[in-house]
């Protein structure tokens, strides 16, 4: 089990880095073709004009932030559609702004409606940054330390002993999904297909056994 001290520090670093320019497509078909060719997931941001203040806030505060713009530019094929673009009527959009993620094969993976905060948007993009590989992941795990359920938009819920604890996905690699909560244990590492789950011990600064998990 690798010690991931640096990852905890890197959560703070994007705030001090410059934003990365995102080359947004303005039409669906060219973006879909690029997504198929590159194997990257398609990210669709449906927004509105100046009258939509939540749209403006999300674009300027969240999508143009260093952390989120880097994720979009490096891991997604992005397209931006406005409420006056006829193409957006093809999509299951009920309000502005909305974020939709499609696999390269055109499968809708996830949709969010309404403005997302910076941590929520970052967790969502981190979850699906590796193309379509995570589509088939189990979203419910059972363990002797509680039941873990994925609610969408990077949010996990741990149900144990009559209480519910909310976790937000902040990173992932080939071995683990990394979760953070305001309650103890604050940091957990969940294996995507089940197995040994780990917790971060801030005293020893090491990952330690937490529970054995299995897809439910």
Note the pLDDT tens digit of each residue in 118-131: 888 888 888 888 76
Q: Cβ distance 165 to 157 under 8 Å?
A: yes
CA distances from 36 to 100, 105, 130 (A): 16, 7, 14
Does the pLDDT of residue 39 top 60, yes or no?
Answer: yes
Q: Take residue 153 and report the two structure tokens written for it.
A: 């938009």
Look at residues 85, 88, 96, 8 and name the one whose alpha carbon lies nearest to residue 47: 96
Q: How confident is the model at residue 8 (pLDDT cuts 50, 70, 90)?
A: very low
The DSSP element (H or E) to which 7 belongs, if any, is: helix 5-10
**pLDDT tens profile 59-108:** 999 999 999 999 999 999 999 999 999 999 989 888 899 999 999 988 88
Task: Delimit the domains of the chain by residue range.
Answer: 19-127, 140-215
CA distances from 35 to 46, 78, 111 (A): 18, 9, 17
pTM of the model: 0.61
Question: What is the pLDDT, as a whole number, of residue 81?
Answer: 97
Average pLDDT, the chain: 86
Residue with tokens 């006829």: 86
Fold of 19-127: Glutaredoxin (3.40.30)
Question: What is the pLDDT, as a whole number, of residue 6?
Answer: 42
Average pLDDT of span 145-164: 85
Report how far residue 154's alpha carbon sits from residue 170's, in angstroms, rounded to the nearest whole number: 8
Report how far residue 159's alpha carbon sits from residue 4's, in angstroms, rounded to the nearest whole number: 26
The DSSP element (H or E) to which 38 belongs, if any, is: helix 28-38
């Amino acid at each position: 089990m690798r010690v991931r001290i640096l990852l905890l520090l890197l959560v703070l670093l994007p705030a001090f880095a410059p934003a990365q320019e995102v080359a947004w497509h303005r039409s669906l078909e060219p973006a879909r073709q690029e997504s198929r060719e590159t194997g990257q997931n398609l990210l669709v941001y449906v927004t509105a004009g100046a009258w939509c203040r939540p749209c403006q806030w999300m674009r300027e505060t969240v999508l143009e932030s260093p952390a989120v713009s880097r994720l979009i530019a490096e891991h997604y094929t992005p397209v931006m559609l406005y409420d006056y673009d006829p193409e957006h009527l093809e999509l299951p959009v009920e309000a502005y702004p909305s974020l939709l993620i499609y696999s390269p094969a055109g499968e809708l993976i996830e949709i969010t409606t309404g403005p997302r905060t910076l941590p929520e948007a970052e967790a969502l993009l981190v979850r699906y940054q590796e193309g379509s590989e995570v589509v088939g992941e189990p979203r419910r795990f059972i363990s002797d330390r509680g039941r873990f359920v994925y609610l969408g938009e990077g949010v996990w819920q741990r149900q144990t002993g009559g209480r519910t604890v909310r976790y937000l996905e902040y990173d992932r690699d080939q071995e683990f999904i990394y979760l953070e909560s305001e309650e103890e244990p604050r940091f957990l590492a969940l294996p995507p297909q089940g197995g040994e789950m780990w917790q971060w011990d801030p005293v020893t600064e090491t990952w330690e056994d937490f529970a054995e998990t299995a897809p439910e």
